[in-house]
Amino acid sequence: MAYIVVSDVHLGGKLCNQKEFCDFLKWVRGLVNKTETIKCKGKDVTIHSPEKFILLGDILELWDPRDGNRDNVIGDSILPFSLLSDINCDKIYVIGNHDDSLGELEGEVDDVALPNGKKFDIYDRHYPEKEKTGISGGIKIGSQSYFFLHGHQFDKEQAILAWVSRLIGESWNPLGWFQDLYNTLFTKKHWKASFLIFSALFLLGGYFWNKLLPPGFPNTLTWASLAGTTGSLIYVIVSAIILLFFLMKGLFALTATLFVILLGGWFFWEQSSFLAIIWGTLTGFFALSSIPGVVASTQRKFYNLLKSKDKTVEQIIHNGYYRKNKDTIRANVVVFGHTHFADYYGPDADTGNRLFINSGCWYGKDKLIDKKMRYSNTFVYIDESGAYILRWLGSGNIECLEAFP
Ligand SMILES: [Mn+2]
């Protein structure tokens, strides 16, 4: 029984190590034919082909893709997911914060059978799922039990998002909303020009409306005077026929939309307010087609202000990120990612006698932080003999960073 755990690849992101990750996946795929023995704290550890491969969140970068363009996520994902599919084991995808919209797929992507007979499963929050008692037990491997989650749940900077999400019963993420709006082809291509048009319409419109509109805007026509004119009678009859036609075709949404437009036309036709509606609609269109571009191009700086990246596990435990009293996990070892820092802490009284292991990331370069090396391209290997934080050096070379026998 062996598990391999990776997190925070951020495929589609600006600094993702997609090539190294693919090389690593090819190496894992090859483990089916030969085992690999490495030195770990003076001991030989044999790495076997895994039974389960856990993708522990933020595998895809849906919040902040390169150039704000989610097509880059698809482009970066084709090879890794095809390689993953080839690896002779089940895959567990646990959702992180940068790929949280995929949580909606938890019920859809449920033990999907891959061509080699292995399975692909999505878990919205953690693996394994909570038991009915509300307690989260672990997976027994050797003498330990393990619990896997991405780790943004420990993050106080994410607390406001989590709090609102719980309140409204669905995932709340305002920047994600802009990201959704930005990722329409027209907006991606033309948001700068749209912003100019929006600014012009907004400023010039505001300036000229006083002069264009007659006093007493909005001037309204009465229903009686409308009904009295032949023109509006024809308008009503033609409208009714059109609506009835679509209604009988069973196109209810289209009928409702046309009803609103035709009713609006009846109210506002021949009035200056009709012009105002056209102006408002155009201004709104160009606002929605440009403001998300402004947000998408500045949000990385915004995220850098509030992210808990590069925190060590000890900082997570001691700086109020992790709250022991809220913890319902019943496992000896908690494996998580999110902070991009392959590291560990515990077990001690502050962790409820649990060991916390961070799987690190496949993003950016190695970096010295507070005299401690923060390595990229790391993973966690678990078998009956214990857990190991390992580092991919390329070409099948593995360095052991920590061992927990
Ligand atoms: Mn994360």
CATH (domain of 391): 3.60.21.10
What's the N-to-C CA distance of the chain in angstroms?
15
Is 301 a domain residue?
no
Regarding whether 146 and 93 lie in a shared domain, the answer is: yes
Of residues 60 and 307, which shows the higher confidence score?
Answer: 60
Is 237 a domain residue?
yes
Is 397 a domain residue?
yes
Is 174 a domain residue?
no
CA distance 209 to 213: 6
Extended strands (E) in 283-371: 329-330, 333-336, 343-345, 355-358, 367-369
DSSP label at 184?
A: S
Q: If 0-12 CB within 10 Å is exposed, 13-18 middle and 19+ buried, where does residue 365 land?
A: exposed
Output the pLDDT for position 291: 93
Regarding whether 102 and 54 lie in a shared domain, the answer is: yes
Distance of CA 389 from the midpoint of ligand 1 (Å):
19
| Low-confidence winner among 197-211, 342-356, 377-391 (lowest mean pLDDT) | 197-211
For residue 220, give Cα distances in angstroms to 228, 366, 379: 15, 68, 69
Say if pTM beats, i.e. exceeds, 0.85: no
Sequence letter at residue 14:
K
Output the pLDDT for position 221: 47
Domain termination site, one of 296, 331, 365: 296
Distance of CA 300 from the midpoint of ligand 1 (Å):
14
Output the pLDDT for position 217: 47
Regarding whether 277 and 376 lie in a shared domain, the answer is: no
Domain termination site, one of 254, 275, 296: 296
Token output for 187? 């907006």
Listed residues: CB within 5 A of ion ligand 1? 58, 96-97, 152, 338
| Low-confidence winner among 13-27, 128-142, 376-390 (lowest mean pLDDT) | 128-142
Distance of CA 310 from the midpoint of ligand 1 (Å):
11
Distance of CA 97 from the midpoint of ligand 1 (Å):
5
Regarding whether 288 and 198 lie in a shared domain, the answer is: yes
Residue among 360, 362, 369 at smallest CA distance from 388: 360
Backbone phi, then psi, for 69, in 5-degree steps? -100, 115
Confidence of residue 405 (pLDDT cuts 50, 70, 90): confident
Residue among 286, 119, 312 at smallest CA distance from 204: 286
Cβ atoms within 10 Å of 254's Cβ, excluding its own: 13
pLDDT of 225 strictly over 70:
no
Distance of CA 61 from the midpoint of ligand 1 (Å):
10
Regarding whether 194 and 216 lie in a shared domain, the answer is: yes
Regarding whether 89 and 150 lie in a shared domain, the answer is: yes
Cβ atoms within 10 Å of 220's Cβ, excluding its own: 12
Regarding whether 150 and 213 lie in a shared domain, the answer is: no
pLDDT tens track for 311-366: 888 888 887 667 766 777 788 899 999 989 999 998 888 888 889 999 999 999 99
Output the pLDDT for position 259: 92
Regarding whether 221 and 150 lie in a shared domain, the answer is: no
Is 238 a domain residue?
yes
CA distance 381 to 403: 10
Backbone phi, then psi, for 283, in 5-degree steps? -60, -45
Mean pLDDT, the chain, whole residue set: 86
Regarding whether 290 and 313 lie in a shared domain, the answer is: no
Distance of CA 364 from the midpoint of ligand 1 (Å):
14
| Low-confidence winner among 319-328, 362-371, 389-398 (lowest mean pLDDT) | 319-328
Q: What is the 3-state secondary structure (H, E, C) of 190-235?
A: HHHHHHHHHHHHHHHHHHHHHHHCCCCCCCCCCHHHHHHCHHHHHH
Regarding whether 137 and 81 lie in a shared domain, the answer is: yes
pLDDT of 271 strictly over 70:
no
294-319 burial: b if 16+ Cβ within 10 Å, else e: ebbeebeeeeeeebbbbbbbbbbbee
pLDDT of 223 strictly over 60:
no
Confidence of residue 280 (pLDDT cuts 50, 70, 90): confident
Token output for 82? 């095809």
Output the pLDDT for position 375: 95
Arithmetic mean of pLDDT, 114-134: 83
The count of domains in the chain is: 2
Distance of CA 330 from the midpoint of ligand 1 (Å):
23
CA distance 298 to 366: 25
Distance of CA 13 from the midpoint of ligand 1 (Å):
13
CA distance 111 to 275: 55
Any bridge partners for residue 5, and if so which?
54, 380
Regarding whether 337 and 290 lie in a shared domain, the answer is: no
Token output for 163? 């709090």
Regarding whether 128 and 197 lie in a shared domain, the answer is: no
pLDDT tens track for 128-183: 887 665 666 788 999 899 999 999 888 777 778 878 888 888 778 887 888 889 98
C-alpha torsion angle, residues 335, 339, 342, 348 (rounded to 10): -60
pLDDT of 124 strictly over 60:
yes
Is 178 a domain residue?
no
CA distance 293 to 103: 25
Distance of CA 293 from the midpoint of ligand 1 (Å):
23
Output the pLDDT for position 224: 46
Percent of the chain with pLDDT over 90: 49
Domain termination site, one of 271, 296, 321: 296
Task: Please name the residues in contact with 60: beta carbons below 8 A apart, sequence gap of 6 or more.
Answer: 9, 10, 11, 12, 73, 77, 98, 99, 102
CB 198 within 8 A of CB 290: yes
pLDDT of 25 strictly over 70:
yes
CA distance 359 to 379: 5
Output the pLDDT for position 235: 79
Domain interval for residue 318: 3-155+309-404
